[in-house]
């Protein structure tokens, strides 16, 4: 019973965005499985047995299947006919390079566009989503998975502010952040990214499109370089 899912109220700073959190039991189960996927406790390609999760979390099959269905929609879980669920395989080096090439083409320009229309309300929402105020969490695994979602929300909000829904949908469809964060469970990934988020926030606060573009480009390039050792 010690692994029983606890119900929590969780306010999403990006309400209305494509990436949302849930306060339902299925949402709590989703968060728990998501954390295991992000921290590599569930390894890429590993079988995910519904009955085992039922025992681990002390819940019924229904919220487990709902959570796995949501994770399947996000590309993190694969359901195979007559076999069941498994964690998605790790992205290849080629796919990794392609994802970062795509991000470098789209996101710096998006950051510049967001800076041009930034308001105090939008900036406050971005500060909440950036994760820079929540440093110091005791549990690295929880913190890592939480930041993976915060990072996705933060970047999605910037693209939403930039106003190009096709670009935003393209990036969301690739589930870019989730697959990238599964490459390496390491505190450096979050700590350095938080510093880079702060640089972006400063550019947005100044209403400086050029600085925002440069900060986003540096952030994406540094993220790429941090994770490259995963392929060694």
- Can you give the CATH number for the domain in which 76 is found? 1.10.10.10
Examine the pLDDT at 167 and tell me if it is beyond 90: yes
Residue 225 CB neighbour total at 10 angstroms = 11
Examine the pLDDT at 75 and tell me if it is beyond 80: yes
Q: Which two tokens stand for residue 137?
A: 């969490």
Instruction: With both helix axes pointing from N to C terminus, report the angle between 25-38 and 50-57 in degrees, rounded to the nearest 10.
Output: 110
The verdict on 122 and 189 lying in the same domain is yes
User: What CATH number does the domain containing 143 carry?
Assistant: 1.20.120.530
Query: Phi and psi dihedrals of 48, rounded to 5?
Result: -120, 110
d(CA 96, CA 231): 10
Q: Which two tokens stand for residue 41?
A: 């406790």
The verdict on 128 and 201 lying in the same domain is yes
Higher pLDDT pick, 148 / 135 = 148
The pLDDT of residue 82: 86
Number of domains within the chain = 2
Categorize the per-residue pLDDT at 191 as very low, low, confident or very high, splitting at 50, 70 and 90. Answer: confident
User: DSSP labels for 35-86?
Assistant: HHHHTTSS-TT-EE-HHHHHHHHT--HHHHHHHHHHHHHTTSEEEETTTEEE
Higher pLDDT pick, 186 / 93 = 93
Look at 10-19, 36-45, 83-92, 150-159 and tell me which has the smallest mean pLDDT.
Answer: 10-19
Examine the pLDDT at 28 and tell me if it is beyond 70: yes
User: In which residue are the tokens 């295991």 written?
Assistant: 36
The pLDDT of residue 11: 38
Q: Specify whether the CB–CB gap between 185 and 148 falls below 8 A.
A: no
């Amino acid at each position: 019973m010690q692994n029983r899912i606890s119900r929590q109220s969780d306010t999403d700073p990006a309400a209305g965005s494509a990436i949302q959190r849930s306060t339902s039991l299925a949402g709590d189960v989703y968060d728990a499985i998501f954390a295991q996927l992000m921290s590599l406790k569930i390894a890429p390609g590993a079988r995910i047995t519904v009955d085992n999760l039922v025992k681990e979390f002390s819940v019924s099959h229904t919220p487990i299947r709902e959570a796995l269905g949501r994770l399947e929609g996000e590309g993190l879980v694969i359901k195979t006919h007559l076999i069941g669920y498994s964690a998605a395989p790790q992205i290849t080096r080629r796919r990794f390079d392609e994802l970062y090439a795509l991000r470098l083409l789209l996101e710096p320009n998006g950051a510049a566009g967001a800076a041009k229309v930034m308001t105090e309300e939008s900036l406050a929402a971005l500060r909440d989503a950036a994760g820079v105020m929540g440093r110091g969490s005791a549990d690295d695994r929880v913190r890592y998975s939480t930041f993976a979602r915060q990072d996705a929300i933060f970047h999605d909000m910037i693209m939403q502010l930039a106003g190009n829904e096709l670009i935003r949908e393209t990036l969301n469809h690739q589930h870019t952040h989730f697959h990238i964060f599964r490459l390496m469970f390491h505190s450096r990934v979050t700590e350095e990214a938080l510093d880079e988020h702060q640089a972006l926030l400063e550019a947005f606060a100044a209403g400086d499109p050029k600085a925002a573009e440069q900060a986003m480009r540096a952030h994406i390039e540094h993220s790429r370089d941090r994770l490259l050792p995963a392929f060694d």
